[in-house]
Amino acid sequence: MEFRTLRAFVEVIRQGGFSQAAKAVFATQSTVSKAVKQLEDEIGMPLLDRTGYRARLTAAGEIVYPRAIRLLAERDNLMAELQELRGLKRGTLRLGVPPVGSATVFAPWFATYRKRYPGIDVRLSEHGADRLGEALHSGEIEIGAGLLPTTEEFDYQAVRREPLMVLVPEAHPFARREFVDFVALRDTPFVLYGEGFAINRIVADACQRHGFEPEVVARSSSVDFIVELVGAGLGIAFLPRMLADEKHRAGVKPVLLAEPDMEWHLAMIWRRDAYLSHAAKAWLELIREAAETVP
């Protein structure tokens, strides 16, 4: 059953005849007549009594007519809703962000996105980058923030690149240096992040390259708590430079980590084979605009 034939049938009744219906649907009278006949053949019963000046509904037509009106209305509503999605007047953005850096990097962009598209429902998932990768695999989120490099199954849009800083207690000998080599940290206790954080993987890879196993004295998913642990003299920690500059705390000194393969390279990541909604594409466009202004 085609909407075209339903529309022709409904207009014949609304307009009171075939010639008037033809004008309403911008077709010839013959085309309208053939469309109604096609619908009758499909149903297997006549829908119109064509005797007399006006076409009248048969018993079958009385049943089909109100249903046809509802079907056409639903079709029009569907197309209107899809148009609203295309116009970003409504929709849902399912987005994943990590706890590390979200307040600094993403909060201003969320505010801009909300102003541009107030009808979009933004549903946030906040996890470490590894957990966000799992959420992308399962389709729980459309786009997730993660650290580069990533695997070939994902596409990405770079957001920000920062060197890593090592946070040391102010009394530590490294606190008086401008930079420190990673291998020099081998005998110093580490304070790392909770499970699923990509920075842990960066640190672990560096330890493996330099042939040592770090002494991990604590783990936390809270950046503020990690900074406090460093200030208390428990060990050292790692942060991207932009966050280290923000997390001022008496007794803690950020020192540049002189390790070329330990950059914090943030990106928005999505599955290559996944469909991206108009809301998701609009988010990526905003990120692209914003990233161009980042020094």
**Strands 252-257, 179-180: pairing kind:** parallel
**The pLDDT of residue 294 is above 60:** no
**The pLDDT of residue 196 is above 90:** no
Question: 260: pLDDT confidence band, cut at 50, 70 and 90?
Answer: confident
Burial of residue 130 (CB within 10 Å: 0-12, 13-18, 19+) is middle
Quick: pLDDT tens for 132-155. Answer: 888 888 788 889 988 888 888 899
Cβ atoms 185, 172 nearer than 8 A: no
- Average of per-residue pLDDT across 61-68: 90
CATH number of 91-159+265-291: 3.40.190.10
Helix (H, G, I), strand (E, B) or coil at 214: coil
Cβ atoms 69, 60 nearer than 8 A: no
Domains in the chain: boundaries: 3-86, 91-159+265-291, 164-262
pLDDT at 146: 86
pLDDT at 84: 67
Question: 292: pLDDT confidence band, cut at 50, 70 and 90?
Answer: low
Of these ranges, 7-11, 116-120, 145-149, 228-232, the one predicted with the greatest mean pLDDT is 228-232
Q: What angle do CA 51, 52, 57 make, to 5 degrees?
A: 60
- Report the topology of domain 3-86: Arc Repressor Mutant, subunit A (1.10.10)
B/e letters for 142-177, b = 16+ CB within 10 Å, e = fewer, are bbbbbbbebeeebbbeebbebbbbbbbbeebebbeb
Query: What is the identity of the amino acid at 56?
Result: R
Quick: pLDDT tens for 149-182. Answer: 888 889 999 988 889 999 999 999 999 999 999 9
Q: Cα 80 from chain centroid?
A: 23
**Strands 252-257, 164-169: pairing kind:** antiparallel
When the pLDDT of each residue in the chain is averaged and rounded to a whole number, the result is: 87
**The pLDDT of residue 129 is above 80:** no
- Average of per-residue pLDDT across 38-57: 86
The residue behind tokens 């966000």 is: 132
Cβ atoms 262, 155 nearer than 8 A: no
| Dist CA 114 CA 110 (whole Å) | 6
- Average of per-residue pLDDT across 210-223: 92
Whether domain 164-262 has CATH 3.40.190.290:
yes
**Which has the minimum average pLDDT: 46-50, 85-89, 236-240?**
85-89
Instruction: Establish whether domains 91-159+265-291 and 164-262 are of one fold.
Output: yes
What does the block give as tokens for 44?
């297997």
| Dist CA 196 CA 72 (whole Å) | 50
The residue behind tokens 């996944």 is: 274
- Average of per-residue pLDDT across 12-36: 88
pLDDT at 87: 76
pLDDT at 243: 85
